Amino acid sequence: MKEAIIRRATEHDLPEVLNLYRHLHPHEAQLEPATAKRVWSNLLTSSFMTVIVAQASEQLLSSCTLAIVPNLSRGGRSYGVIENVVTHADHRKLGLGRRVLAHALNIASQADCYKVHLATGSKRETTLRFYEEAGFERGSKTYFEVRR
């Protein structure tokens, strides 16, 4: 495999990102094209959001999304939230996921975020160790959610 570059996603990356998300949630229905374009535009034009991708040749192989949330506590320092971490199933265990996460953490650091959250629904020990090896601490907070 040619060396991958890690970069911010662009408008033209939408089809490849949607293809990657099939590896994240394989049983989820695909978005309607108009909805996907609208959401993608919102993501790319938001000053709070960054979609990070790993690209080798013409293919996107890994991605994550970073939200930087303004904050009135902690001295006004923002915090980051990482979601949708995914690597193409055929290209896992090559360090691509770790590299997109490192890029996200670097952006958060440059934005002076005092912390970065990442949640996973996975209970697999290999997945949990992957996040620990990428710099995240397991069990430091209790996470709750409401799904609709």
Farthest CA pair distance, the chain: 45
Give Cβ neighbours of residue 32 (< 8 Å, ≥ 6 apart): none
pLDDT of residue 140: 85
Q: How far apart are CA 145 and CA 115, in angstroms?
A: 19
pTM of the model: 0.93
Name the nearest CA neighbour of 104 among 94, 114, 112, 116: 116
pLDDT mean by block of 10 residues, the chain; 148 residues = 89 97 93 97 97 95 98 97 96 96 98 96 92 92 87
